[in-house]
Amino acid sequence: MDRNYLVNFDTRQLPQEEWEYVIIGSGIAGLYSAYIASGYEGKAVVLTKHTVLDSNTDKAQGGIAAALDIADSPDLHLEDTLAAGAGLCDYEAVNILVNEGPQRVAELINLGARFDQDNGRLLLGKEGAHSRRRILHAAGDATGAEIQRVLTRQALDNPLIDVRESHFVVDLLIKENICYGVLAYDRQSEQLKVFWSKTVILASGGVGQLYKHNTNPEVATGDGIAIAYRAGVEVMDMEFIQFHPTVLNLPEAPRFLISEAARGEGAYLLNRHGDRFMTRYHQMAELAPRDIVVRAILQEMKETESSEVYLDLSPLGDEKIDRRFPNISGTCSSYGLDIKKDPIPVAPAAHYMMGGVKTNLYGETSISGLYACGEVACQGVHGANRLASNSLLDGIVFGQRIIEHKLSIPDSHKHVPITQRFFYNDIEVCQENDFEDLRRSIQSTMEMFVGPVRTGAGLLKALDVFEIMEDPGKNPSVKWNEMEVCNMLQVAQLITEAALMRTESRGGHFRQDFPDSLKRWRKHIILKRG
């Protein structure tokens, strides 16, 4: 799709507001950024397209990683993150993450986050590719929901933060490499609005809904990446999608994440014959990096002619299952599975975007005044394969750095009325389109050709399908969910193009026709419109 905006508009004819900070997204990255800004008396509006609780943060089970134990250290956390990242992590970004992370986690605790403890001591879990126990968790396997609760409460109670639900951000307002604000669609009043600001923060989350099978909420459609790319912002590492190895696979049930913490506590993966197989694929067995576990599962499924493998939690014992995994136990029980004795049928599903909007170590993008943090952003901290439970940490560490860096710029918050005019009138109605059919076609195409195992021929087929979809995409999108589908198509093309360009296998990107990792490919693919 090659156009500047999704809709025709003229800012002079629209309701307008001016804010010190406009923050797009209400997960951990967006709400924590708003919280830090409010601590410096900064007024922020948080725009979220559904409710404040609709985010990947709320669904996160396993926990948040931080080197807090006496047997652990930031250096060990750094080593584990670099190893998982398969040679593409930015060393300085990871160093910042692991060293500033403990302070940010302490701040969450000060805000009231109730992480699991035993006699006043934090209980720390272990997950894949971690060499130490360093995963803080809450209510066993509801860590994200606890963090979301705390940050949502502080945002809604804070007079300096205004959370606007049902506000779908359509496009960025950028001129001469400066971001002046955003164009948004208010779903309740069904009208376009303008939010002017000298500081716009993208914290809109991931892309899981591009795939038919995924662990993400319905809001995760890659909107932030799409609006940034349309505006001429650089995006990076788009080929690196992380597929979670263990997602509930029952015909009658929606896809539901079975936390990696289960394997960290001692659960085994079994094939359809009841044989434990991960010991044949990696020395860390069930705790190998996620990309390795995913491909091992796919191989076992192929060899045993099965649509799933099984996760056996019985070695943990009933008491630990009750204490550590009440959410998973309850969900499985609603579908007739007793995880204390019944192995859980699981299969891989799309989970996390390692790439995204390219930023520096302060969240700055290639456009002045536009920042990004959380899953939508890519500063190289996750490399080609994210280390488990580093995602929540990423959001708060770099959200804090954005605000502190912005405040270090002289006169960065002197309020100057915005007099810029933005307008667009180049879209003509060509035909009626079935956008829901387009959505399903995007998801099935990504599932078939741009999944955990890829080939050049398959990627070319996907691009051909997407090119055919582009003609309907040229029509004006008058409803927010139609705009959402246009964003999905844009991001699907970017992922597929980058995957076709990278003629090797590394981390979350595996090419069957180029199965080796190559030294000459220890570099990033950066895409920019035009």
Q: Which helix (H) or strand (E) holds 345?
A: strand 344-353
Instruction: Enumerate residues 6+ apart whose C-beta is below 8 A from 382.
Output: 81, 85, 89, 240, 354, 390, 391, 394
On whether both 399 and 434 belong to a single domain, the answer is no
Find, among 227, 195, 240, the residue nearest to 89 by Cα: 240
Structure tokens at 411: 């006169």
Rounded Cα distance between 409 and 33, Å, is 17
Look at residue 413 and tell me whether its pLDDT is greater than 70. no
Neighbours of 190 (CB within 10 A): 10
Per-residue pLDDT, 513: 97
Q: How far is CA 409 from the centre of its chain?
A: 29
Look at residue 27 and tell me whether its pLDDT is greater than 70. yes
Mean pLDDT of 393-419: 82
Per-residue pLDDT, 7: 92
pTM: 0.95
On whether both 364 and 336 belong to a single domain, the answer is no
Query: Do the beta carbons of residue 277 and residue 300 sit within 8 Å?
Result: yes
On whether both 83 and 212 belong to a single domain, the answer is yes
- Catalytic positions, written as ranges: 290
Q: What is the CATH number of the domain that holds 363?
A: 3.50.50.60
Percent residues over pLDDT 70 in the chain? 96
Percent residues over pLDDT 90 in the chain? 86
Residue with tokens 């090797």: 504
pLDDT digits (tens, 9 = 90+) for 56-73: 898 888 899 999 999 999
Per-residue pLDDT, 412: 57
Rounded Cα distance between 97 and 486, Å, is 33
Look at residue 235 and tell me whether its pLDDT is greater than 60. yes
Q: Which of 300, 315, 347 is the last residue of a domain?
A: 347
On whether both 518 and 389 belong to a single domain, the answer is no
Q: How confident is the model at residue 433 (pLDDT cuts 50, 70, 90)?
A: confident
Does the residue 393 lie in any domain? yes
pLDDT digits (tens, 9 = 90+) for 177-231: 999 999 999 999 999 999 999 999 999 999 999 999 999 999 999 999 999 999 9
Q: What is the CATH number of the domain that holds 439?
A: 1.20.58.100
Look at residue 428 and tell me whether its pLDDT is greater than 90. no
On whether both 39 and 178 belong to a single domain, the answer is yes
Look at residue 472 and tell me whether its pLDDT is greater than 90. no
How far CA 100 is from CA of 34, 90, 422, in Å, comes to: 18, 16, 40
Per-residue pLDDT, 58: 85
Per-residue pLDDT, 476: 57
Rounded Cα distance between 488 and 396, Å, is 26
Does the residue 9 lie in any domain? no
pLDDT digits (tens, 9 = 90+) for 161-177: 999 999 999 999 999 99
Range of the domain at 481: 430-527
Per-residue pLDDT, 323: 92
On whether both 286 and 138 belong to a single domain, the answer is no
Q: How far is CA 433 from the centre of its chain?
A: 29
On whether both 191 and 253 belong to a single domain, the answer is no
Mean pLDDT of 406-422: 71
Does the residue 74 lie in any domain? yes
Q: How confident is the model at residue 417 (pLDDT cuts 50, 70, 90)?
A: low
Q: Which helix (H) or strand (E) holds 162?
A: strand 161-164
On whether both 376 and 234 belong to a single domain, the answer is yes
Q: How far is CA 245 from the centre of its chain?
A: 16
Q: Which of 299, 332, 347 is the last residue of a domain?
A: 347
Q: What is the CATH number of the domain that holds 275?
A: 3.90.700.10
Number of domains in the chain: 3
On whether both 404 and 383 belong to a single domain, the answer is yes
